Amino acid sequence: MLNGVVIKSTGSWYQVRLEDNREWKCRITGKHKLFGWQLTNPVAVGDYVQVEPEISAGQGVIKRILPRKNYIVRQSPRQKHQLHLLAANVDQACLITTIIQPNLKQGFIDRFLLMTEPYNIPVIIVFNKSDLFGPVETEIYEELKALYTSLSYIVLKTSTVSKENFEELKSLLNNKTTLVSGQSGVGKSSLIMGIEPTLTLSTDTISDHSGKGQHTTTFAEMHQTSFNANIIDTPGIKTLSFNHLEPTDIAHNFREIFEVSTACRYADCKHINEPGCAVKQAVESGTIHHLRYQNYLQLLDEINDQNYWERHKDY
């Protein structure tokens, strides 16, 4: 068998780069699960695999998925009872977002971090299209930068027009495998091509009618760059839901809430209306940002509702 890494996932076929840099079109046999979860795609871009050749030249069969050091998983957007593997074996993730065109969805940032935090994957938060910033957008950016920097995330702003912070972003990606993601229309593909002009990717567009992005990347794909980085480009994400999480997972993966919760009166405190809740006190004092707390409550409600209907679906 030959060793390789999956560089593109197209549903039923996977592009695998072998150790000698040959690329094979591969399929997979058998059923594969992750901790009992039902997966829409058993193999992810970034997976290290062992393959056997088929009769047809340049084709093979994935016989074994090697142990992963980490992975990023989300609820399938089409099949809500299944999960979708976005990528595996990444060194970090880079979330591309905007404050304007399309307008900021701050809650999406925290939802994205809920995918990476359980696996201790560092995240770079990039606010793109900074050339469009006016005084209001600049003030919003500075507030969010202060918020997420205080939580030990890297935050910067970029522009494909002015090339602001292109060199800094390249240095952050250098010698690493990075999942690059974002909602549709934030300019993710344009930004990737801006820092690596040799790549040709489909670019996002903004609907004149809705002001929302329309995703153009269809499948996840790993690209090698001239500055020795591997970039995993992913389709634009519209929404993120978490059918595989429990309420405790939400609190444990909001860094500041988890840290402060050790001082709560009750070990099973949900940080809603319980007496002696250190988290509520921290929100009132401003130690925990109110935006983060509101997003925590919204996610908690979603998980509780989801679990309720799962328990009662047969009644």
Q: Where in the chain is the domain with CATH 3.40.50.300?
A: 72-233
* Per-residue pLDDT, 182: 92
| pLDDT over 70 percentage in the chain | 88
Note whether 52 and 61 are within 8 A (CB). Answer: yes
Q: Mean pLDDT over residues 61-86, rounded? A: 85
Strands (E), the chain: 2-9, 14-18, 23-28, 48-53, 59-65, 71-75, 83-88, 92-98, 123-128, 154-157, 177-182, 205-206, 213-214, 221-224, 230-233
Helix (H) or strand (E) holding 150: helix 135-150
In the Cβ-directed half-sphere of 93, how many Cα atoms lie within 13 Å? Answer: 27
Q: Tell me: domain 2-67, CATH 3.40.630.30, correct?
A: no
Q: Would the pTM of this model clear 0.85, i.e. be above it?
A: yes
Lowest mean pLDDT among 7-11, 113-117, 262-266: 7-11
CA-to-CA separations, 233 to 86, 93, 259, 265, in angstroms, rounded: 10, 11, 33, 44
pLDDT tens string 137-176: 999 999 999 999 999 999 999 999 999 999 999 999 999 9
pLDDT tens string 264-314: 999 999 999 999 999 999 999 999 999 999 999 999 998 887 654 454 455
Q: What are the backbone dihedrals phi and psi of residue 171, each rounded to the nearest 5 degrees, phi first?
A: -65, -30
pLDDT tens string 178-234: 999 998 899 999 999 999 998 887 655 544 433 443 444 457 899 999 999 999 998
CATH architecture observed for domain 72-233: 3-Layer(aba) Sandwich (3.40)
* Per-residue pLDDT, 103: 93
Note whether 204 and 184 are within 8 A (CB). Answer: yes
Q: How far apart are the C-alpha atoms of 278 and 261, rounded to whole Å?
A: 6
Q: Where in the chain is the domain with CATH 1.10.40.50?
A: 247-312
* Per-residue pLDDT, 55: 84
pLDDT tens string 39-52: 778 899 999 999 99
Pick the CATH number of 247-312 from 1.10.40.50, 3.40.50.2000, 2.30.42.10, 1.10.1760.20: 1.10.40.50
Residue with tokens 């005084």: 135
Residue with tokens 């009166």: 265
* Per-residue pLDDT, 82: 78
